[in-house]
Amino acid sequence: MNALCDITDRGAYANLRVKQLTASLPEREANQAAALVYHTLDHLLTIDYYLSHFVKGSQKPVVRGVLRLGVCELLYFSTPTHAAVSESVSLIREIGKPALAGFVNAVLRSIDRARDSLPAFPSDPVQRLSIQYSYPEWIVIEWVARFGADDTESLLSRPAAAIEVRAQYPYTTEQLQKELPVASAVNRWDNNSLSLSGGFDLASNPLFLEGKFTVMGESAMLACRTLGDMSNKRVLDACAAPGGKSAYLASLSNNRIDLTCFELHAHRKELLDKTLSRLHVIADIYEKDAAEFDSQYENAFDGVLIDAPCSGLGLLGDKPDIRYSKSDDDITALVQIQQKILHTCSRYVKPGGVLVYATCTISRRENEEQVKSFLEVHKDYQLDKIPIPIENNGELQLLPHIHGTDGFYIARMIRCR
């Protein structure tokens, strides 16, 4: 309950808080606790909608957290009713609210009795999609305006993504498939990308520790491929942490690459250092703001990759806490940061070189409009077809329900000679 409240009410990152929660638990209990927190987050608005019909007035965050977890167990797990209710009643007592034990019991029993006749969702399309799939209305409004209600529903209802991994050169995909402890399948667009059939403790796996493979989504891999062949060339990864893209650029070139990495934040640079060290990648790594121009890098690189800080709306299925931590105003602020990074790093590309702009989001303001605005100002750049097996005209919005990837935007631009 404390972990859930830290995420929903105090801004904690779900992955870090859940890792902290499960660190001292036995494996089975850890898996159950993580699943309960993530399922509650994934269905948060739906759960709150149901609770609003059974609870009058607002509740303190800790009480609301207990009820949310209880409803999640009742409706989305196979936990027997008596066990789910008993656990919630015990939890409210443990947090020092024994007087509310009867209240929690009554609310959950009422919802359980009404599970076959729960309140219908609103008839308004945006409100229905928001509550049914637990996405804030501002996101639904933007996507419905762009894709229409039917495609938006397909996007919102996409199944959870499998864990994706890739080999790191000189280890091969074929070797990795043979040695992994679970079965895997080669993904659709990048034949170095594997989807795992199930989970295992990746971080302690000998192959992982030896730097023979890493976890990486296929869409991020495609962003690296968008640069083209960078063998024996000088390349900048401008927003490099946690390091997966930098490492894949090295792997694609068989380590024949002159690689420079920028990362603004010290703690993330430490993560970048560790990732590249584990994967045996040699690079010049700097704690540096990609938005601040440095004349020593002007016209210095054959290729520049900008995986810009963004709203992360393409990862909502895997990181449900992002839905509730971002707002429409956040997009406006991010656009300004992205614009500055894009304008600054464009000056680092040699004439004839390649500039790739990428985000893990589905947002015209951060993506298509950002690139359009850039090209209107920088007449020495033009879109160039992305060298991947998906039809494109130099820019591409990957969509989970269409491409089977994370929601990722990629644009490839050439600096004219």
Q: How far apart are CA 7 and CA 381, in angstroms?
A: 42
Q: Cα(59)–Cα(167) distance, rounded to whole angstroms?
A: 49
Same domain, 233 and 342: yes
Which residue, of 172, 200, 215, is where some domain finishes? Answer: 215
Helical ranges in 188-327 per DSSP H: 206-209, 218-225, 244-252, 266-278, 321-325
Residue 239 among the catalytic residues: no
pLDDT in tens, the chain (417 residues): 688 888 888 888 888 888 888 888 888 888 888 889 999 999 999 999 999 999 988 888 899 999 999 999 999 998 899 999 999 999 899 989 889 899 999 999 999 999 899 999 999 999 999 999 999 999 999 999 999 999 999 999 988 788 999 999 999 999 999 999 999 999 999 999 999 999 898 999 999 999 999 999 999 999 999 999 999 999 999 999 999 999 999 999 999 999 999 999 999 999 999 999 999 999 999 999 999 999 999 999 999 999 999 999 998 777 888 888 888 899 999 999 999 999 999 999 999 999 999 999 999 999 999 999 999 999 999 999 999 999 999 999 999 999 999 999 999 999 997
Lateral strand order in the sheet of 213-215:
184-186, 193-196, 164-167, 213-215
Bridge partner list, 304: 236, 355
* Tokens 């509730």 sit on residue: 324
| In a shared domain, residues 192 and 225 | no
Answer yes or no: is 327 within a domain.
yes
Which pLDDT does position 1 carry in this prediction? 66
Residues 364, 144: Cα–Cα separation, whole Å: 13
- pLDDT for position 47: 96
CB within 8 A of 261, min separation 6: which ones? 236, 237, 240, 243, 246, 272, 276, 283, 284, 285, 286
CA torsion, points 192, 196, 202, 205, in degrees to nearest 10? -80
Please state, in angstroms and rounded to a whole number, the distance separating the CA atoms of residues 265 and 247. Answer: 19
The CATH number for 86's domain is 1.10.940.10
Domain presence at residue 282: yes
Domain that holds residue 141: 127-156
> Is 372 a domain residue?
yes
- The enclosing H or E element of 34 equals helix 27-42
Q: Residue 190: which CATH number?
A: 3.30.70
Domains in the chain, number: 4
How many other C-beta atoms are found inside a 10 Å radius of the C-beta of residue 177? 15
- Catalytic one of 5, 224, 360, 416: 360
Q: Which two tokens stand for residue 49?
A: 């909608």
Q: Are residues 143 and 74 in the same domain?
A: no
Structure tokens at 79: 């936990």
Encoded tokens for 193: 């990308």
Statement to judge: residues 140 and 234 lie in one domain: no
What pLDDT score was predicted for residue 21? 81
Strand 213-215 versus strand 164-167 pairing type:
antiparallel
